[in-house]
Structure 1
Amino acid sequence: MAVIKSLLIFILAGLFEIGGGYLVWQWLKEDKPFWYGLTGGIILALYGVVATWQTANFGRVYAMYGGIFIVLALLWAWKVDGFKPDRYDIIGAVIALLGACIIIYTPRR
């Protein structure tokens, strides 16, 4: 159950970071209104708070988050921007996620 809770926190943090970053991107690169950027900045700050809900230390949390972020970024690009990940994107994401899971979830003494 602890692993599922941890994964859900990582996914929530990822959605906040990617969603907030996406809004800032839209404001600065796609000429959307200022409130896109402001809202994105607030959401990005919330990402930083959500990440602290993890129980592992900072280094392992952010290493694991890197793997989660890769997968979520590809999913976001696919569903929101119409980007179609190819097999190498998928293979790379699986490798990154597997490595990240080893870092954070492997039992240690």
Structure 2
Amino acid sequence: MADSEVEILRTVLDRWRSAVDAHEPDRVASVFAEDAIFQGLRPYVVGRDGIAAYYAAQPLGLTAAYEIRESRRLAADVVLGYLEVEFGFADRSTLTVHLGVVARRIGDAWLIGHYQVSQLD
């Protein structure tokens, strides 16, 4: 039986969260596809090098906690997720954002192919 959309997203996003919490930018980038489109709260980048640079610039002590709000299987090897993410900081208030991700199965691994943050508040 195929994994559920939520199980797939949790597997990928738990790896992402662990690397973010450990402040390991290269490990964060390894959760993304080589050609991933990444839109954080700064101009977008494409690819792992830009993603690693984005997370390297984040402050020490940054943590991420997420809750999956919606998920959809778009194709056998593609899952869409919509999340609420709370980024915690050592020296300021928590930042809550909305995150859309598209996870793709590439070979035997599920990787993030698209990452789009929205700050609605």
TM-score, normalisation: structure 2: 0.30
Structure with bigger strand share is 2
TM-score (norm. length: structure 1): 0.32
Q: Rg bigger for which structure?
A: 1
